[in-house]
Amino acid sequence: MALVITVAQQKGGTGKTTLAAHLAAAYAGDGQRVALLDIDPQRSLARWHALREARRESRPPGPPAIAFADTTGWRLAATIDRLRREHDLVLIDSPPQIDTDARLAIRAADLVLVPIQPSPPDLWAAEGTLALAAAERRPLRLVLNRAPAAGRLRAAIEADLAARALPRAEAVLGNRIAFANAFAAGLGVTEAAPRGQAAAELRALAAELKEIAA
């Protein structure tokens, strides 16, 4: 049975979709059978996957294959069960609001991942997801994303997380253009710039999440 990671955040612009894509590519690159499930109405992950498939067709063998589904509504629970049976890892890009689909995606998760930029609005917006994960008794990690190397705001957010004893990943993803460039090409940063700092940060996060969920 697959490990299911649901990426959830109510605030837009936190990098939820790109994080799901980069993690999927990293895990697929390690030889795992990976599936993506896009239940975000914006369907940005679907467009990324289409770019990836076009690259695979035009430049065989291309990057490793990643299965994809975009089922919502009453079929969602059955789709998650099917993907879990057929793959090693399933990543779900959830909608940016607490609705039935979001609840099902969090309920099915072995780990809920909540990306936040180091700013109070991102942390405030995450509170609904934190509450839902707690209600469903799902393990959760906040991930600092698009974070500057240092600064008062980052330090303040990290102190706030520590004071509130909120679970966060040790790995931090910096504010690096390599993430956006890779996503725009239908790739993960570990594929597009494997020796860069962004790829190193992503690999550290991927390894940490696997260890947490083991």
15-43 pLDDT per residue, tens: 899 999 999 999 999 999 999 999 999 99
pLDDT range class, residue 89, cuts 50, 70, 90: very high
Mean pLDDT over the full length of the chain:
94
- 137-163 average pLDDT score: 91
pLDDT confidence of residue 172: 95
Q: Is 159 exposed, middle or buried (0-12, 13-18, 19+ CB in 10 A)?
A: exposed
Q: Is the pLDDT of residue 13 over 80?
A: no
Q: Give 121 or 189, the one with higher predicted confidence.
A: 189
Percent of the chain with pLDDT over 90: 79
pLDDT of 151-172, one tens digit each? 788 898 999 999 999 999 999 9
* pTM for this model (two decimals): 0.95
The answer to whether residues 15 and 146 touch, using CB atoms and an 8 Å cutoff, is yes
In 75-151, which residue ranges form alpha helices assigned H by DSSP? 76-86, 100-107, 120-125, 127-135
Q: Is the pLDDT of residue 11 over 80?
A: no
Q: Is the pLDDT of residue 96 over 80?
A: yes
pLDDT of 170-197, one tens digit each? 999 999 999 999 999 999 999 999 999 9
Virtual torsion, Cα 20, 115, 176, 196, nearest 10 deg: -60
Superfamily of domain 3-207: P-loop containing nucleotide triphosphate hydrolases (3.40.50.300)
pLDDT range class, residue 97, cuts 50, 70, 90: confident
pLDDT confidence of residue 6: 97
